[in-house]
Structures are given as C-alpha cells and as structure tokens.
Structure 1
C-alpha cells in the first residue's frame, strides 16, 4: 500500500453486513475512517447507533466519532428489516452493550464538520437509506467542494429485493436517493447486481467462528446468521453485502462499471424506489419526440471480481 490513507465517512444502518463493512474499514490501513453516521433502516436509529458502537468496541477501533441521524425517511414512515437482520438488527448474537457513546451532535452536523475539516477530499460511503446524505446536501451544499466521490450501496440494474424492481436502501427513502444522484460529485452505484455475488466460503466462515479473537468470532457469526436450511431464506450464507462497497473504495479495479444515466422512480405504485438505469446504446422514440432528459451519469457497477473482494476482506480483517 502506497500513498496516504483515503479519508472516508461511512453512513450506515448497522445490521449484519454494515457490521462486516465497518470491521473491514477500521482494519484496512489504506482507509482513514473520519466519522460514522447512523440512520434508520435495518433497525430503528437508536438500535443502529448501539450496533455501530458495539462493532467498533468489539473491533478495538480507535475513538471514531459516531452520530445519530434521521429516525425516518423524508416522506415515508420508517420500515425496518428485522426479518432479515434479527430483532436487534444485528443477528441477535447477544453481544454485550457497548460502553462507547455517540457524539453530542447530529449526523448532518458531524458530516459537515468532518468533510470541511478534512485536509483531503473525503469519500462518502453510504451503506444505508440515503436520508442523512440528502439532508446534508440540501442543508450544507458547500460540502460538495471537499467530497472526492460517493460510493453508495443501493439500487439495482435488474432485480430488486424490497420489491421486484426496488432495492431496500433506495426503496426505504426514494426521494433521498434522488437527491443523492444530483449531488454534483462523482458517484459509484454498488447495487444488488454485484452485492449478492461476493460470498465468503463456508470453510472460512467456520474458521472465523472458531477464532479466539472476539471480533472475528462476531464476523463469523454474522456471516452464518441466516442459514437457508433453517431460515427459509434462499440467500446464501457468507454474503459480504455492504462490505463489498467499502472494498470498492480501496480496490476500485475489482469492479466493472459503466457511466450510465440513472433516475429513481418516485411515483406511487409497484415501481416506486426502482433505479432506472439507461443501458440503451442510442436514444429511443421518447427522446426523438420529447428531447433528451438530462439525467446524471453514475458509475454503475455491472460486474465484480468476487474472489478478489472476498480475499481482500478476509486478509484485512484477519490481519494476514
């Protein structure tokens, strides 16, 4: 690893895979985690704060400031995902309550402070509904000048999970996602198309679960927490999920991306929250009759070297 660490701020709704992302981020020497902000999503925002502090404590991370953010989307009611992440939002592992405490400012205030204070442009990594980020961009547009890139986990080119076409983070707060896409900074969309593919093999999960180090045992338990044989969920165990987006910050060459127009469907109905990615090679009849729509170009992840990111994650968290 050469050069200075990349300054990053993670905005999360710490459930299972956000925890795996945080563990990776605080252990990779190429990342300088300047702050972590919390938003309702996988569980309620107070649970997200608790889970985030728990992960940092288990990992023995330095005193990274953690702030409580939005407790509901801009318009919709909060809709948590405890059926996926457990009653506590993080796999119901029975981890001890953290002794750490959040800072005494809200998430938007902390985001503004840390972005403007950074001597180098910051990379924002939202792995959650985008409410905090939308509020930041609308309240403090001056921060854009010191944001290098936003790498967000959200959206899908093809199949959704919250609905047939909408991914959870975008579906949870579609208006916030629409604000993000007009941020005026480079954006990478790490969507479900790659999210689902980065898996830790069963043997590695078993090794982590047997580790004498508490944080590695926690990681193994998180990776194994939804066994398809007992949960009825066909999703494979061992999914790194959100952690792949953080891997993409440190190793962008592991992704195949294309700059494509992306917009969010905001109308009520079955398509609300869909990320509409225009992959057409040329304009169609709509543009011929009505003129082109000025949609922002987003670096959309279309393929991933899954083994590369799995290896990166494992060697980082295990210190190999």
Structure 2
C-alpha cells in the first residue's frame, strides 16, 4: 500500500455488497474517495442513489459527490436483483433517509470531472453493470490516460451466477462490458473466482452489528442479511473485496489473459470467455485475434482482505484487538 492515500472513484448499483464496499472505501485511511457514480443494476437507479447516500452517512464520509447515471443497459431493459438484496436493495433494514443531495449532473460528467481534476491518475473501481463506465470511455476518451487502473467486479473464468455461464454485472450489460474490457486500459477483473472467498463469520457479523460505531453496525447488519439469505455460517463481503484489491493488490494472484464477452449466445450471453490457451493457439484462432489482455484474479488471500475490511469499519487495527 502506498504512503499517500490512493485516489479512487466508485461506480455502484448499491445493494448489500456495494454498501460494504462503500463503507470500506470511505473509512480506510489509505483511500481518497473522490466521487461515487450510480447506475441501475441490483435495484433501479433512483434507489441506488438513495442507498448510496444512506451508506455514506453511516460511514461518516465527508463531502463525497454522488451522481445519478444510466437507468438501463445500453441495449436491453434493466433487470434487478431484489431477490438477493431485498426490496430496497439494502436488506430491508429500514435505514433513515439521508439529508445529503446528489449532484445535479449526470454520473458520466461527475466521473469525467473527478478523474481529470485529480492531481494524479485515479483508480476506478466498477462494482456494477458497466454502463456508466462504457459511456464515459466512449464520450470522453481523454479520461482513459488519466486512469491508473480499472478494477472491475465482474465476470469469471469459470461459471456464473445470473445464469450458468454469466456473472450478474456483465450479464446485465454485456455490450458495456465489451467496451470496457476491450479499451486497452489496465484492468483487473475481480470476478466470481474470488468474489465469494472474502467473508465474515456469523459471529463476526453479530459483533459488528452490536457496535456503537455506525459504520461497523451497518456492516454487521448487512453481513447478517447475507448469512440469513444463504442459511450458512458466514456472509461474503463481495464487492468490498474489489475495493481491497485496489488498495492492496498483493492479496490477489492474477494472470494476464485475453477476455471476450459473449454477446450472442442464447445460453451464454454475458459470459466472460477467459482465454487460457497458449499464445500460439490464440494466434491460430479462426474467430480472429483475442482482445487486449486484462489481469484476471484467480486466487485471493481472503483473510488478508477480511482483516483489512474489519480494520477500516471498526477503526481498530486487528493487531491491536
């Protein structure tokens, strides 16, 4: 981790795990959260904005600008995931309405300003369908060189969750994913191969929920929602792991591999086709050369990221506990 805070912007569709990611990004002293853009995904975009503002309140975040972005994918209608995140997207916890206000500009414009006005290159952590990010790169190509890295929570080398083949964020807007992954930028694909590994136990969630610290208490309640929904003994931190990867990339093992997004298949639309063949086999591909390679996360140090998250939301370093 760097000596100075890492400047980041987050693109979110704030459901339960986006909320955990926001808590980490707003609370960790190693991150400088410069803006948050909202997009339709887990819930509708207006609910995403409301949820984001509520979570920033609980995090005790400073004056972080938030803006409303795309309300549907580039091609298809929006498709929500309330069955996972609750009717309000935040586990139906009944959080109070925020007094914060969203910015009066589109999220793409907020992202453009946040990146270009920063004194150094910015890391964009995309935790949602990639509609806003694709629109940003196509509308404002000057932003690309000012991005130090794009960390995408999306895709997988094997399998999916929205369908048997496709992960939700990419499946929701595969055309946008194709734009972003094909842009030739430094990209880390933090997908389902590592997504579920970083988790808290039910006992840890209960301890956080009982905290007098609002950020820790909300984190605990959100993870308890995950535990209850899955009927298990732990709850994933999900998107928060992608924020941890931006802050501490040494916790990931990645391989630099070409990735295509399937746009046409009936059963496989939205699949990220990770090409793990030898270079000479790729070169002979009858479908043509693969796109630019990205850093695909294949293994994660789950305990390292778990401790990083707990340190941030509680304000107590794990070594001092």
Same fold flag (TM > 0.5): yes
1:268, CA displacement in angstroms? 4.1
In the alignment, the residues of structure 2 paired with residue 189 and residue 289 of structure 1 have an alpha-carbon distance, to the nearest angstrom, of 23
Establish whether residue 186 from structure 1 lines up as the match of residue 182 from structure 2. Answer: no
In the alignment, the residues of structure 2 paired with residue 38 and residue 235 of structure 1 have an alpha-carbon distance, to the nearest angstrom, of 30
Establish whether residue 295 from structure 1 lines up as the match of residue 291 from structure 2. Answer: yes
Distance 1:117 1:96, change over 3 A: same
In the alignment, the residues of structure 2 paired with residue 278 and residue 184 of structure 1 have an alpha-carbon distance, to the nearest angstrom, of 16
Q: Which residue of 2 aligns with 1:110?
A: 110
> Superposed, which structure 2 residues align to 1:251-290 within 5 Å?
251-284=248-281, 287-288=283-284, 290=286
Q: Which residue of 1 aligns with 2:8?
A: 8
Q: Which residue of 2 aligns with 1:313?
A: 309
1:67, CA displacement in angstroms? 0.3
- Given that residues 258 and 302 in structure 1 are in contact (C-alpha distance below 8 angstroms), is that contact kept between their aligned partners in structure 2? yes
**3-state SS of 1:307 partner:** helix
In the alignment, the residues of structure 2 paired with residue 290 and residue 183 of structure 1 have an alpha-carbon distance, to the nearest angstrom, of 22
In the alignment, the residues of structure 2 paired with residue 294 and residue 144 of structure 1 have an alpha-carbon distance, to the nearest angstrom, of 21
Structure 1: which 5+ residue stretches go unaligned? Answer: none
Structure 2: which 5+ residue stretches go unaligned? Answer: 317-321
1:236, CA displacement in angstroms? 6.0
In the alignment, the residues of structure 2 paired with residue 272 and residue 206 of structure 1 have an alpha-carbon distance, to the nearest angstrom, of 39
In the alignment, the residues of structure 1 paired with residue 201 and residue 122 of structure 2 have an alpha-carbon distance, to the nearest angstrom, of 33
**3-state SS of 2:169 partner:** helix
Distance 1:215 1:288, change over 3 A: closer
In the alignment, the residues of structure 2 paired with residue 8 and residue 272 of structure 1 have an alpha-carbon distance, to the nearest angstrom, of 30
- Given that residues 152 and 189 in structure 1 are in contact (C-alpha distance below 8 angstroms), is that contact kept between their aligned partners in structure 2? yes
Residue deviations 1:15-49, cap 9 Å, x none? 00000000001111111111000000010000000
Q: Which residue of 1 aligns with 2:136?
A: 136
Establish whether residue 36 from structure 1 lines up as the match of residue 36 from structure 2. Answer: yes
**3-state SS of 1:166 partner:** coil
- Given that residues 259 and 290 in structure 2 are in contact (C-alpha distance below 8 angstroms), is that contact kept between their aligned partners in structure 1? no
1:183, CA displacement in angstroms? 2.1
Which piece of structure 1 moves more, 256-265 or 209-218?
209-218
Q: Which residue of 2 aligns with 1:90?
A: 90
TM-score (norm 2): 0.95
In the alignment, the residues of structure 2 paired with residue 218 and residue 133 of structure 1 have an alpha-carbon distance, to the nearest angstrom, of 28
- Given that residues 31 and 250 in structure 1 are in contact (C-alpha distance below 8 angstroms), is that contact kept between their aligned partners in structure 2? yes
- Given that residues 144 and 184 in structure 1 are in contact (C-alpha distance below 8 angstroms), is that contact kept between their aligned partners in structure 2? no
In the alignment, the residues of structure 1 paired with residue 142 and residue 271 of structure 2 have an alpha-carbon distance, to the nearest angstrom, of 29
Q: Which residue of 1 aligns with 2:55?
A: 55
Q: Which residue of 2 aligns with 1:195?
A: 195
TM-score (norm 1): 0.95
Deviating beyond 6 angstroms after TM superposition, the runs of 4 or more aligned structure 1 residues are: none
Distance 1:226 1:7, change over 3 A: closer
